[in-house]
Chains A and B, each alone.
Chain A
Amino acid sequence: MTVTKPESKSLTKEKAKWMYQKMCEIRQFEDKVHEIFSKGILPGFVHLYAGEEAVAVGVCAHLNEKDYITSTHRGHGHCIAKGCDLNGMMAEIYGKATGLCKGKGGSMHIADVEKGMLGANGIVGGGFPLAVGAGLTAKLKKTGAVAVCFFGDGANNHGTFHEGINLAAIWKLPVVFVAENNGYAEATPFEYASSCKNIADRAAAYNIPGEVVDGKDVIAVYEAAERAITRARNGEGPTLIECKTYRNYGHFEGDAQTYKSAEEKEKHLKELDAIVKFRNYILSKHLLFEQELLQIERNVAETIEKAVDFAEKSPFPTEEDLLKDVYVSY
């Protein structure tokens, strides 16, 4: 099989700049969270998105604030790509009252209604029906919005996968199902747990298009997402895109990752890095100059430092806050 190198015609200089910045934001944000977590400062479990940036950014590059996304336990990247405020996100991860969910959601449950971010989700497979509901909303209200459901390879064996995609297909809903196949459901290899070569192959069962994409190549993701989102906006129904990717860190912070080989890690972290690949693409196509890229990287580093500072200086929720937001009445 020959693989043609994707070369986007629709990618403008402005879009390339936005995408590079978002990818850097995700990487640096996650590397920073990794660093802080290892010092024992952060509470809870964190699941880092570093390594998978091309997926969230390549897809969200086509979305606007009216569009919806549902996310996973590994949701920081989706939040950033969908435009969530970094200060609010960092504070949320710290469990502070200034967080996007007032410190009550935490890393695994960041949500931002204004940005159409319907929530990271502590339950694997929890997002499928939610995205279908958002897609049906868009269809009934004729808003022109689409809903993107990000999910991992673990979720593709969950019952909600079948229920959600089938429903979106029979009702021709504007939903795009984006599988982030990073090779492992926690520690279980994809090949062991899934009775299919590709997750995208399962699209055939629902009579919808399925497409396998190199999830480390943001241009490839960008182009596949463009096709799927255009279809969705045109009322032609859902698409299943599978992005083959890799997570740089463990399933959660503290995971010993004994299931990954040293060669595999080396290959993905050094040779196949999505950001390096996109950087080279930008330079080779003369979309941006080296100086501009360096400036973006510096600005992002500064933004992340500010987010950490903001989070650290913010107050924790109080005991009274505990008893709020359970019902409308309290």
Chain B
Amino acid sequence: MAEITMIQAINEAMRQEMERDERVIVLGEDVGTNGGVFRATDGLLEQFGDQRVFDTPLAESGIIGTSIGLAVNGFRPIAEIQFLGFVYQAMDQLAAQAARIRFRSAGRFTCPIVVRSPYGGGVRTPELHSDALEALFTHSPGLKVVMPSNAYDAKGLLIAAIRDEDPVLFLEPMKLYRAFRMEVPEEPYEIPLGKARIVKEGEDVTIISWGATVPLVAKLAADMKAQGVDAEVIDLRCLQPLDIDTIMQSVEKTGRVMIVHEAVKTNGFGAEIAALISERALFSLSAPIVRVTGYDTPYPVPSVEDDWLPNAARIVEGVQTLMRY
């Protein structure tokens, strides 16, 4: 098995799906000739030609709207939004069109688009290039939201997203694109949407995370083991659909919950998880739920972003707080 990076896994998933299904097409800014700013679409234009890989003008609303028009008529477009912060320009097409077209047509139209976009901080680029905006989309019923944390998951989840009949936001942690390599099968495979992964089993505390923050949480959990705290780490992989069963089983076992995400705290997806736990497992809790997240500000400039992002110090402190109960 080859050891590859997340960006290579994403490229491979698209290439294999385009080979398998000629309805799969790719469009976005500089995705063709240039191969994408992060090289996610490298080589696709050469292999599949300009009738399946489209360089678009710089117009996000147009990219998503065109994808919807293609999707409801039988294509399976993969649209790239160059940075997730640029998606505000396309919010009407996503939240008011793609998300609702199946509902408002009583199921006669389906909208199988995948919107891929790099997101998140830690790469020293400010504000609109670092936003984690997953909660905008989980707040739009009709959209699915997938956030991989490693190369293996990225490939299997992206293939599943492309084969899915509904619109999927596929949010790729930019910081992890080339952060590490892992073994990824060369053949295509699907990881079902809505199935979380238990990264590490543990008895004392449940740490729930997704996307960019998972590798840090996993590393800290391993370190904590040596200090006598046995944390269970859950990588949600998908926020919509959400694997609530895996969360509840873990919470009932440990009784202590920490949620870690990059996005701002207020109305972040962590709030939804905390609410679900309180609805379903309040009496299993032995401590208040702790959230370690970005602060309630716009994404800051590089000089202070390491303080803004959930970091080792804040996560460890949160676990210590939980363990005092």
A, B from the same assembly:
yes
| Interface residues, chain A, with chain B CB atoms under 8 Å away | 43-45, 94-96, 103-106, 108-109, 122-125, 154-155, 157-159, 185-188, 192-194, 258-259, 316-319, 321-323, 326
Given contact pairs A44-B124, A193-B58, A188 touches B303 in the complex (Cβ within 8 A): no
User: Which residues from chain A contact B58 at a C-beta distance below 8 Å?
Assistant: 124-125, 154-155, 157-158, 185-186, 188, 193
Q: Are A44 and B57 neighbours in the complex by a CB distance under 8 Å?
A: no
The listed residue (A104, A123, A187, A317) touching B89 by CB distance below 8 A is A123
B138 within 8 A of A: no
What is the distance, in angstroms, from B100's C-beta to the closest C-beta of chain A? 20
A187 to B55, CA, bound (A): 10
User: Which residues from chain A contact B298 at a C-beta distance below 8 Å?
Assistant: 326
Q: Are A43 and B30 neighbours in the complex by a CB distance under 8 Å?
A: no
- Closest 8 A/B residue pairs (Cβ): A43-B302, A95-B303, A157-B57, A154-B58, A193-B57, A187-B34, A122-B128, A106-B126
Given contact pairs A44-B124, A45-B129, A158-B58, A96 touches B303 in the complex (Cβ within 8 A): yes
B58-72 near A? 1/0 per residue, CB < 8 Å: 110110000000000
Q: Are A322 and B304 neighbours in the complex by a CB distance under 8 Å?
A: yes
B110-139 near A? 1/0 per residue, CB < 8 Å: 000000000000001111110000000000
User: Which residues from chain B contact A103 at a C-beta distance below 8 Å?
Assistant: 301, 303-304
A187 to B37, CA, bound (A): 9
B24-43 near A? 1/0 per residue, CB < 8 Å: 00000110011001000000
A326 to B300, CA, bound (A): 11
Q: Are A43 and B57 neighbours in the complex by a CB distance under 8 Å?
A: no
What is the distance, in angstroms, from A311's C-beta to the closest C-beta of chain B? 12
Q: Which one of A96, A108, A155, A187 has the greatest number of beta carbons of chain B within 10 Å? A: A187
Chain B's closest residue to A317 (CB) is B304
Interface of A is mostly: loop
User: Which residues from chain A contact B33 at a C-beta distance below 8 Å?
Assistant: 187-188, 259
Q: Are B301 and A43 neighbours in the complex by a CB distance under 8 Å?
A: yes
| Interface residues, chain B, with chain A CB atoms under 8 Å away | 29-30, 33-34, 37, 55-59, 61-62, 85-86, 88-89, 124-129, 295-298, 300-304, 307-308
The listed residue (A123, A258, A322) touching B297 by CB distance below 8 A is A322
Given contact pairs A96-B303, A187-B33, A326-B297, A123 touches B59 in the complex (Cβ within 8 A): no
Interface of B is mostly: loop
Q: Are A188 and B301 neighbours in the complex by a CB distance under 8 Å?
A: no
Q: Are B57 and A154 neighbours in the complex by a CB distance under 8 Å?
A: yes
User: Which residues from chain A contact B59 at a C-beta distance below 8 Å?
Assistant: 157-159
Given contact pairs A158-B59, A316-B304, A188 touches B30 in the complex (Cβ within 8 A): yes
What is the distance, in angstroms, from A232's C-beta to the closest C-beta of chain B? 27
User: Which residues from chain A contact B125 at a C-beta distance below 8 Å?
Assistant: 43-45
What is the distance, in angstroms, from B99's C-beta to the closest C-beta of chain A? 20
Q: Are A187 and B128 neighbours in the complex by a CB distance under 8 Å?
A: no
User: Which residues from chain B contact A316 at a C-beta distance below 8 Å?
Assistant: 303-304
What is the distance, in angstroms, from A228's C-beta to the closest C-beta of chain B? 25
Q: Are A323 and B129 neighbours in the complex by a CB distance under 8 Å?
A: no
User: Which residues from chain A contact B128 at a C-beta distance below 8 Å?
Assistant: 108, 122-123
Q: Are A104 and B34 neighbours in the complex by a CB distance under 8 Å?
A: no
What is the distance, in angstroms, from B262's C-beta to the closest C-beta of chain A? 15
What is the distance, in angstroms, from A53's C-beta to the closest C-beta of chain B? 24
A312 to B249, CA, bound (A): 53
Sample of 12 further A-B pairs with CB below 8 A, known A106-B126, A123-B128, A322-B297: A44-B301, A45-B129, A95-B301, A122-B128, A123-B85, A154-B58, A155-B58, A158-B59, A185-B57, A186-B29, A188-B33, A323-B295
What is the distance, in angstroms, from A302's C-beta to the closest C-beta of chain B? 27
User: Which residues from chain B contact A125 at a C-beta distance below 8 Å?
Assistant: 58, 89
User: Which residues from chain B contact A106 at a C-beta distance below 8 Å?
Assistant: 126-127, 301-302
User: Which residues from chain A contact B88 at a C-beta distance below 8 Å?
Assistant: 123
Q: Are B304 and A44 neighbours in the complex by a CB distance under 8 Å?
A: no
A159 to B57, CA, bound (A): 11
A187 to B57, CA, bound (A): 11
